[in-house]
């Protein structure tokens, strides 16, 4: 089949970023197909999803591009939500968005490209892709390349990130100028299927086992209402007098929450990783910059296979979170903290 211009499938979330990405692609002359993915959510949040789907549909109508909504609730529940709950139950702090990108968003849509005879898959991520390399987005505070470390290397030549060179305010401006119905949508910060109340979400889906709070010497100094409600480094909501206390460790075996008053105890140089993935060929030892949480900062480190050694100690290295590596601005890969 002969086509004069390239065709691209854009994953729409109903938010401003993916909408603007779609608009930009259209403007650049791509033939665009909009796809909204219906993810699993609890009953009480379904209306938000319907509203998001409606916005995505309206954007496509406005841009005069075809729109499809795919029901992926089951796949999402199995591949993202259930493993998320399992990981939480094991006492770790997972990044479900990383898994979603790998198992659902990119994987399933890339599988569907041929259905539409499309050449590329685009998303509204703040990240840049150029010459087969993924880079951090232009705006540091918005950069979302952190969530992309697990995607497959070979996917890179099929992916477009139209927002790579834009700042959030520029994106909002485009949305406003083009009068996109998503121009005024608020920023989504939370995990999409959890919403803004993690505590109650977890309480609904996991049974909590209250236990003891101990200090680093094992002296009992209080009680907790279930280990999975806490994360390493946490200071708030520990509820002990004479603080501040920080969560140092979760002793799953004894169901003890280990806390410390000395924040320095939280600092470590070495991180052990599992399930590593690289987006380019590498050899060890590898000098990189890494961050160990989405909102964290890039720090100098050396990677010796699954051992990540920072130049200076890092606060609250949290099992389950992603350690993500960069060379300059380029995304190199990542791993899950053991």
Contact flag: residue 68 with other proteins (CB under 8 A)? yes
- Considering only residues 117, 187, 197, 270, which one is a binding residue for other proteins as defined by CB under 8 A? 117
- Give 71-105 as a 3 state SS string: ECHHHHHHHHHHHHHHHHHCCCCCCHHHHHHHHHH
> Least separation, in Å, of the C-beta of 58 and other proteins?
19
The Cα–Cα gap between 193 and 201 comes to: 9
Q: Answer yes or no: 60 catalytic.
A: no
Q: Answer yes or no: 100 catalytic.
A: yes
> Least separation, in Å, of the C-beta of 117 and other proteins?
7
Residues in 74-93 that interact with other proteins by CB under 8 A:
74
Nearer to other proteins by C-beta: 31 or 101?
31
Nearer to other proteins by C-beta: 161 or 193?
193
> Least separation, in Å, of the C-beta of 114 and other proteins?
5
Contact letters for other proteins, residues 92-111 (x by CB under 8 A): -------------------x
Cα 252 to Cα 127, 167, 215, 233: the distances in Å are: 37, 42, 15, 16
Stretch that binds other proteins, among 69-77, 87-95, 97-105, 325-333 (CB under 8 A): 69-77
The Cα–Cα gap between 3 and 6 comes to: 7
Stretch that binds other proteins, among 52-60, 112-120, 274-282, 294-302 (CB under 8 A): 112-120
- Considering only residues 107, 112, 168, 235, which one is a binding residue for other proteins as defined by CB under 8 A? 112
**240, 286 Cβ separation under 8 angstroms:** no
Which one, of 283, 72, 318, lies nearest residue 192 by Cα? 72
> Least separation, in Å, of the C-beta of 61 and other proteins?
16
Nearer to other proteins by C-beta: 122 or 279?
122
Q: How many residues bind other proteins (CB under 8 A)?
A: 13
Contact flag: residue 73 with other proteins (CB under 8 A)? yes
Give contact residues for other proteins (rule: CB under 8 A): 33, 66, 68, 70-71, 73-74, 111-112, 114-117
Which sequence positions are flagged as catalytic? 100, 192
């Amino acid at each position: 089949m002969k086509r004069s211009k390239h065709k691209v499938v854009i994953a729409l979330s109903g938010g401003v970023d993916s909408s603007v990405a779609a608009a930009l692609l259209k403007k650049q002359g791509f033939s665009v197909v909009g796809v909204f993915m219906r993810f699993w959510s609890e009953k009480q949040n379904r209306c938000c999803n319907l509203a998001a789907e409606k916005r995505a549909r309206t954007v496509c109508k406005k841009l005069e591009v075809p729109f499809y909504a795919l029901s992926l609730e089951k796949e999402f529940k199995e591949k993202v939500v259930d493993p998320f709950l399992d990981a939480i139950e094991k006492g770790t702090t997972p990044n479900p968005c990383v898994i979603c990108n790998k198992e659902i968003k990119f994987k399933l849509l890339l599988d569907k490209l041929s259905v539409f005879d499309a050449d590329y898959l685009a998303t509204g991520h703040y990240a840049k892709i150029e010459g087969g390399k993924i880079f951090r987005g232009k705006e540091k505070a918005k950069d979302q390349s952190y969530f992309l470390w697990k995607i497959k290397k070979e996917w890179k030549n099929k992916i477009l990130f139209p927002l790579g060179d834009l700042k959030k305010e520029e994106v909002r401006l485009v949305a406003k100028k083009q009068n996109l119905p998503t121009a005024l949508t608020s920023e989504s910060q939370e995990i999409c299927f959890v919403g803004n109340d993690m505590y109650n979400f977890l309480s609904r889906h996991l049974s909590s086992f209250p236990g003891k709070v101990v200090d680093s010497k094992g002296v009992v100094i209080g009680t907790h209402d279930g280990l999975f409600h806490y994360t390493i480094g946490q200071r708030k909501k520990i509820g002990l007098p004479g603080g501040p206390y920080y969560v140092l460790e979760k002793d799953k075996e004894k169901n003890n929450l280990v806390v410390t008053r000395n924040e320095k105890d939280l600092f470590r140089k070495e991180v052990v990783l599992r399930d590593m993935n690289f987006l380019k060929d590498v050899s060890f030892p590898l000098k990189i910059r890494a961050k160990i949480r989405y909102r964290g900062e890039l720090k100098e480190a050396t990677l010796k296979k699954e051992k990540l050694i920072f130049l200076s100690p890092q606060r609250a290295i949290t099992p389950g979170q992603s350690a993500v590596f960069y060379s300059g601005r380029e995304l190199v890969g990542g791993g899950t903290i053991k």
